[in-house]
Structure 1
Amino acid sequence: MGRILALDYGSKRTGIAITDEMRLIASGLTTVSTPELMLFLEKYFASEKVDLVLVGEPKQKDGSPSTVEEEIQRFLKKFSRTFPDLEVKRVDERYTSKMAFQTMIDSGLKKKQRQNKALVDEISATIILQEFLYNN
């Protein structure tokens, strides 16, 4: 059984989380510059077996799509052409950034460390993955 990889896609950076091989534990993997995301994924998929990719679906409070959704749709088209055999699912990511920030506070990170937006993105991807595992 392959791993599940989750992406918290952003215009500048994308947070990435991954499960273990048994799909029990979600862990933050890294944050990459979004323009370098496809190259990173190509290398990662060449070395690790991944069966499912989750992509966060950012929505406004009223449920309407976020402004970055158009960019995500372009990414998904390119992704499906590059990796046609990988299943992709969308996951509602509302409030994950706030939850990530609260997680950083709860874990005792100092204010300077909490300003690391790349870490927020990685934790957000982990939350997306944890919620998917919990609900499925």
Structure 2
Amino acid sequence: MTQVFDQPPEGIQKAPHEPRMLAAGYQVALREVGFSDVHDKESLMMAMLRGLALTDNFGHNWDALYDVLTDPEARQAKLGLLLRDFEYFCQRHPQLSAELERVMLDAQRDAAKHGRQLWLLSEELESDPGNW
């Protein structure tokens, strides 16, 4: 059975079952970014700051996020972003999520050009969206 980490990253993919254990087995550094509390660009940037373990000097803008995701000195050659509650975030904030997707996919393409890998893995919370 082919696993997500057997193939080069391609777009935003559904997270596999037990993504943390699987990533560890493939020596992929996995960072988790939660979107359940994101309601605007500032809270999105704060979620990225926490999830990527960035310092407070992170620029809180699209260019800064792109730079962080593509910086070979700050990121491992094999990096996975576990995007928790991402689909629901996209439904709630289509314009903001479209901008974020553009940045992440550009970073993914840039990583591939430089022999690096950036997986973007969408993982939904187990709760019923009707209760949010």
Specify if TM > 0.5.
Answer: no
> Which TM-score applies when normalising by structure 2?
0.44
Structure with more of its chain in strand, by fraction? 1
> Which TM-score applies when normalising by structure 1?
0.43
